[in-house]
Amino acid sequence: MSKLPKLFSVLGLPVHVMSDYPNWLQERLELGQGAHVVTLNAEMTMQAERNPALADVIRRAELVIPDGAGVVLYLQLLLKQNVKRIPGIELAEALIQSLGKSNSESNLPSKVFFYGGSPGVAQKAADYWQSQLPGLTVAGTHSGYHSPQEEQYLKQTLSSLQPELILVGLGVPRQEMWIAQNRHLCPKAIWIGVGGSFDIWSGMKTRAPQWLGKNNLEWLYRLYKEPWRWRRMMSLPEFALKSFVYSITGKAVVI
């Protein structure tokens, strides 16, 4: 098994730092251990501060990655760590690609399930990946909009199919809470909340240019494309202020 990731505290929430997240998760899959992966950013951190249930879910996750620019800068500037941003969409893509390639060489292919998004979007995202990776086995897809009866059917389907990778695109905090409540259905699977990744893979939306992402400015592109996000973006200055105050108390330490 690969070396365990280092664990740090960012405003009281855990963040795991390591050099190769996909390989670590792939090894857990091979060992049948499973994991809940949380992609932590400033907005989720502020939500967790006001939502103890969400904070508890994040603390119980096996892997919390530094997805947002605010979290990365906190680790770099306040905790003096040589850390790079790991966007959740890129981690999910790396795992999908790994499974697609390994399936071509295996008699027992790993299965991926896509859950979330508007009607038809999860299927389009799955179709995109199958066009890119013919060896990928898609266990199924399901919209994020459904009745309680359909939700029960979804849970029965997951329990029956036992996919190895389950991508949940319901938005924060709904996807994190849903995973925590239902991961017992597939205890050996890797579960990842992927937010709006299905919209990107399906071609409905585009990601920010690479140079913005590399400079921790992807949030600015999202605001440009979706101005209604401005209220949500207020979490960034709030996170920055709280980070400064929290750091000078001496509580920002490795845990």
State the DSSP H helix or E strand holding residue 94, giving kind and residue range, or none if neither.
Answer: helix 88-103
* Amino acid, single-letter form, for residue 101: K
Give pLDDT tens digits for 100-122.
988 766 656 789 999 999 999 99
Task: Give the per-residue pLDDT at 225.
Answer: 60
Between the alpha carbon of residue 171 and those of residues 26, 82, 137, 167, the distances in Å are 24, 29, 25, 12
pTM: 0.88
Domains and CATH numbers, the chain: 1-86+236-255 (no CATH), 96-205 (3.40.50)
Contact 158, 166 (CB under 8 A): yes
Backbone angles phi, psi at 25, to 5 degrees: -70, -40
| Cα–chain center distance at 218 | 16
**Mean pLDDT along residues 197-207:** 88
| Separation CA 83–CA 67 (nearest Å) | 11
Give pLDDT tens digits for 150-169.
999 999 999 999 999 999 99
| Separation CA 253–CA 94 (nearest Å) | 30
- What's the burial of 112, exposed, middle or buried (CB within 10 Å: 0-12/13-18/19+)? buried
Task: Give the per-residue pLDDT at 211.
Answer: 61
Give pLDDT tens digits for 20-50.
999 999 999 999 999 999 999 999 999 999 9
| Separation CA 34–CA 245 (nearest Å) | 36
| Separation CA 69–CA 45 (nearest Å) | 12
| Separation CA 248–CA 243 (nearest Å) | 9
| Cα–chain center distance at 230 | 22
Per this entry, what is the length of the chain? 255
Contact 169, 194 (CB under 8 A): yes
| Separation CA 99–CA 221 (nearest Å) | 31
